[in-house]
Amino acid sequence: MAFERWKVTNSRYVVRDRWMTLRADRCETASGVVLDPYYVQEPADWVHIVAFDCEDRILLTRQYRHGAGRVCSELPCGVIEQGETPAQAATRELLEETGCAAQKLQPLPALSPNPACYSNRIYAFAASDTRRVQSQRLDQTEEIEFEFLTLNEVFSLIDGDSFPQALHVATLFMSLRHRGLLSVRI
């Protein structure tokens, strides 16, 4: 089957501020069906960091997340600022959120938060030999705890609904696979 791109016959921004860029397109499929509005979000690209210490423990953050209305464990992450490479953003976010630095950053395959309705990309890194080098440098809206945990402890958090962030769960497994720490029995 040859898929055809939808034709966009009109496009407008519903929200376009510092926090969100939301576009509403009028689309026509190849078979002539009209979708109006079809919403697409256009955030800047994001970066995730799976930071291992020298004992292969993983650095998690913990903060209040207002969408879910509760405290969640997750990976260090953030927005790639204009002019930054993904690796520069990863280094900066790791340092700001946790005061940690890594010896080496290994890029993982890029992903999308949801290709149906997001235009941006997620760049993720596995960081090696991560250790504390300075204190956190948080925005005034941020309050972040951090801790190195064993993989079993991280899995317990995921299974117990304390680490619900699916995008970070994807990155975590990708980092394990790309470091050769996962084997699959099928």
- Scan residues 114-133 and list those touching a second copy (CB under 8 A): 114-119, 121-122
Minimum CB separation of residue 50 from a second copy in Å reads 12
Q: Specify the residue, 76 or 83, whose C-beta has the smaller distance to a second copy.
A: 76
- Scan residues 55-74 and list those touching a second copy (CB under 8 A): 56, 62-72, 74
Contact present, 118 and 41 (Cβ < 8 Å): yes
Contact present, 52 and 130 (Cβ < 8 Å): yes
Q: How far apart are CA 152 and CA 118, in angstroms?
A: 32
- Scan residues 139-168 and list those touching a second copy (CB under 8 A): 140-141, 143, 145, 150-151, 155, 158-159, 161, 164-167
Minimum CB separation of residue 160 from a second copy in Å reads 8
Q: Which member of 54, 133, 138, 182 binds a second copy (CB under 8 A)?
A: 182
Q: Which window, 86-94, 99-107, 111-119, 128-136, contacts a second copy (CB under 8 A)?
A: 111-119
Q: Which window, 4-12, 88-96, 99-107, 126-134, contacts a second copy (CB under 8 A)?
A: 4-12
Contact present, 148 and 54 (Cβ < 8 Å): no
Q: For residue 76, what are its two tokens?
A: 């260090």
Exposed (0-12), middle (13-18) or buried (19+): which is 184, by Cβ within 10 Å?
Answer: exposed
Q: Is 10 in the site for a second copy (CB under 8 A)?
A: no
Q: Is 26 in the site for a second copy (CB under 8 A)?
A: no
Minimum CB separation of residue 103 from a second copy in Å reads 17
Q: Give the closest residue to 120 by CA, choosing from 69, 48, 66.
A: 48
Q: Is 99 left (phi over 0), alpha (psi -120 to 50) or beta?
A: left
